[in-house]
Amino acid sequence: MSTTEDSPQHSGISVTEGAASEALDLLEGEDLDTDIAGLRLYVQQGGCAGLSYGMRFEHEPEEDDTVYEHHDLRVFVDPASMNYIEGSKLDYEGGLQGEGFHVENPNVVSECGCGESFRT
């Protein structure tokens, strides 16, 4: 497992302060230790464009995960998913259209109309 912390020198996954704050609130609501637990960000087959993002909370990272730490939030990414989401930013959006986490991925060639799946 490798760990990277807030730093402008590394690529990988970045997290906005708003996304980190929201995820930490949710983690604490699940009674998970935020010093060890984190948010897993992954890519899976599915959606009309072929790939989709997934997120879930986990108690601890897997041995081959890369762990990113931003604004006290730990984000776990497996090696296969990293191939698709390297350089992405996790944000949290709220507003009239609903609220939720959103991945800004520079590797995306096209997204489906609903924005739930993508192709690289």
pLDDT for 5 equals 54
pLDDT for 108 equals 80
pLDDT for 118 equals 60
Residue type, 58: E
pLDDT for 68 equals 96
Cα distance between residue 13 and residue 103, in whole Å: 10
Return the sign of the alpha-carbon dihedral for residues 116, 89, 109, 3. negative
With a CB cutoff of 8 Å and minimum separation 6, the contacts of 59 are 32, 33, 36, 37
Tell the CATH superfamily of the 2-119 domain: HesB-like domain (2.60.300.12)
Strand order in the sheet with 100-104: 14-15, 89-93, 100-104
Cα distance between residue 101 and residue 89, in whole Å: 10
Cα distance between residue 1 and residue 16, in whole Å: 23
pLDDT for 56 equals 97
Angle of CA points 95, 98, 102, to nearest 5°? 90
Please, what are the averages of pLDDT over each run of 10 residues along the chain (120 residues)?
52 93 95 95 80 93 96 97 93 80 84 59
